[in-house]
Amino acid sequence: MSPLNLQIRTFKRFLHRVHKGRSLVELNLLMMLMADTFSKPAGGSQPGSGEPQGSGWFRTFTIAAYKPYFDVDTSDIIDRLKESLFPFRGTFTEKTATNPDLYGPFWICTTLIFVAASIGTFVTYIAHKLKKKEWDYDINLVTWSAGVFYGYVTVVPLILYVILKYFSAPSGLVQLFCLYGYSLFVFIPALCLSVVPLEIFRWVIAGVAGFMSATFVALNLKAHINSAGERWFLIVTGIFLLQLALAVVLKLYLFTVTV
Amino acid sequence: MALRDWDLWGPFFFIVFLGLTLSWSASVKKSEVFAVAFALLAAGAVILTLNVLLLGGHIVFFQSLSLLGYCLFPLDVGALICMMENNVILKMIVVCVTLAWSSWAAYPFMSSAVNLSRKALALYPVFLMYVSVGFLTIAID
């Protein structure tokens, strides 16, 4: 039996015992241990690895603390990007379980912000010029899209992490960030295609991209939390709908032009 | 060897100048344009440097900030020309040329700082930042 399954089994047995009224402190301790095992790559957490670790709380402000999450080559990133375009495979979480990266999510979000702002601007520009009206550059597009994308990729995985912990199917936080970050990649070509001024075409593109992105997140999460018990279907459906809602919000805000 | 003598006055001047030029070219919301341009460039330089450091590259933090700031000079010139011109096609050509110049200037430093297998990962964000500044220059009229 793989170590992962063994840990899940042990954790479930412990949870069962705690449920029968044993110590809550032990449960907390075990949950923290499990979280650590899931968050970091398996081979990277050896003690005495030669680097001074520093005090507890301000390690989060050093660069060295985040280096393990950027340990990827160009070919790895390209592989993961291609993987995110095929939502029905469901193998993304396995491939990134030991080496989740934060490079992909961060730069995909940043590129999306730029693409969204520029395409949104271009669309309103064309619409105004076609009707020979005055047009001003709306700088709020940049700030708004930055808020939406960074906020979505930061807040939703955090909430999901807490929910999954509560339902005893813990997933590493970085793996969730990674999953959500790469799921947004399909919106980049979708936004580029949405320049075409046909309303029906734009809705179709938004629908297809939203569906692909949502299926990607849902299928990859489902493979992981099948062991969580009765509630997995609810969680997976919730996530699916949330991603679809993001696609709809994008389409409505960026491409609704009132001239 | 001139790279070793880094300073931040040059980059500061170029960033402020670019922000001012874009702000002057804008017909509405001038202060917001300046704020966004300044924040984008300043934060962008810091984030790009952190990106290289996190990918395991070997650069000195302030040296990199200094270089990225100085490489903004062609974009400054481009923004100045675009402020005085109104033709969109001409603006696009000017921005493309100055963008290529800026990227060509920043390329050797950035690519030599990281591992060969991660070169594209370090260079893409630089390109992204310059393209977004170029886009702002064209769009603001």
Q: Does the residue B122 lie in any domain?
A: yes
Which of A29, A63, A64, A60 has its CA nearest to residue A49? A64
Residues whose CB is less than 8 angstroms from the CB of residue A39 and which lie 6 or more positions away in sequence, other chains included: A172, A173, A174, A175
Residue with tokens 């939502």: A87
Q: Angle, to 10 degrees, between the axis of helix B30-54 and the axis of helix A140-166?
A: 50
Q: What is the pLDDT of residues B98-136, one digit of tens each?
A: 999 999 998 988 888 888 888 888 899 999 999 999 988
pLDDT at A100 over 80: yes
Half-sphere exposure at residue A151, Cβ-oriented, CA atoms within 13 angstroms: 7
Could you tell me the pLDDT band of residue B20, with boundaries at 50, 70 and 90? very high
Average pLDDT, chain A: 78
B7, B66 in Cβ contact below 8 A?
Answer: yes
Classify residue A155 by burial, with Cβ atoms within 10 Å: 0-12, 13-18, 19+.
exposed
Residue A187 has pLDDT above 50, yes or no: yes
Partner residue facing A107 (CB), from B26, B118, B125: B125
Query: B interface mutation test: which of A75, A123, A124, A139 has the most B CBs within 10 A?
Result: A139
In the structure, what pLDDT confidence band is assigned to residue A37 with cuts at 50, 70 and 90?
Answer: very low
Q: Answer whether B117 sits within 8 Å of A74, measured CB to CB.
A: yes
- Nearest by CB to B36, from A111, A121, A142: name it: A142
Are A137 and B141 a contacting pair at CB < 8 A? Answer: yes
Q: Which DSSP category does A89 fall into?
A: S
Q: According to the per-residue pLDDT averaged within each range, which of A125-139, A165-179, B68-82 is highest?
A: B68-82
Read off the pLDDT band of A235 (50, 70, 90).
Answer: confident
- Per-residue pLDDT band for A44 (boundaries 50, 70, 90) equals very low
Length of chain B as a residue count: 141
> Residue B64 half-sphere exposure, CB side, CA atoms within 13 Å?
25
Bigger pLDDT: B98 vs A130: B98
> In this structure, what token pair is assigned to residue A207?
């629908």
Total structural domains within chain B: 1
**pLDDT of B76 above 90:** yes
What is the distance between the alpha carbons of residues A145 and A124, in angstroms, rounded to a whole number? 16
In this predicted complex, what is the ipTM? Answer: 0.86
Q: Which residue has the higher pLDDT, A23 or A169?
A: A169
Beta-carbon contacts of residue A108 (< 8 Å; ≥ 6 apart) = A181, A182, A184, A185, A188
- What is the pLDDT at residue A131? 82
Query: Is there a contact between B72 and B102 (Cβ–Cβ < 8 Å)?
Result: yes
Closest alpha carbon to A152 in A71, A49, A245: A245
Q: Provide, as residue numbers in chain A, all residues whose Cβ is less than 8 Å from the Cβ of B117.
A: 73-75
More confident residue, B28 or B108: B108
Q: With pLDDT > 90 as the criterion, what percentage of chain B qualifies? A: 40
Confidence check: pLDDT of A172 > 90? no
Which residue range is the domain that position B121 belongs to? 8-140
> What pLDDT, on the 0 to 100 scale, is given for residue B124?
92
State whether B54 and A73 contact (CB < 8 Å). no
- Expressed in percent and rounded to 5, the helix, strand and coil fractions of chain A are 75, 0, 25
Tell me which chain B residues have a C-beta less than 8 angstroms from the C-beta of A66. Answer: 54
The verdict on a CB contact (< 8 Å) between A137 and B139 is yes
Which residues make Cβ contacts (< 8 Å) with residue A131, sequence separation at least 6?
A259
> In 3D, which of B42, B129, B86, B135 has the Cα closest to residue A137?
B135
The lowest-confidence range among A80-94, A220-234, B57-71 is A220-234
- Residue B1 maps to a domain: no
- Residue ranges of alpha helices (H) inside A69-102 are 74-84, 92-96
State both tokens at A96: 């990134």
Task: Check residue A16 and give its pLDDT.
Answer: 66
Whether residue B61 is predicted with pLDDT greater than 90 in this model: the reply is: no
On whether any CB of chain A is under 8 Å from the CB of B132, the answer is yes
Q: Which of these, B91, B46, B40, B84, lies nearest to B65 by C-alpha position? A: B46
- Does residue B2 lie in a domain region? no
Residue of higher predicted confidence among A192 and A28? A192
State the smallest CA–CA distance between residue B49 and chain A in angstroms.
Answer: 11
- Classify burial at A30, counting beta carbons within 10 Å of its beta carbon; exposed 0-12, middle 13-18, buried 19 or more: middle
User: A137 to chain B: nearest residue by CA?
Assistant: B140
Least confident segment among A26-35, A97-106, A142-151, B127-136: A26-35
- Dist. CA A95–CA A90, nearest whole Å: 10
Amino acid in the structure at residue A3 = P
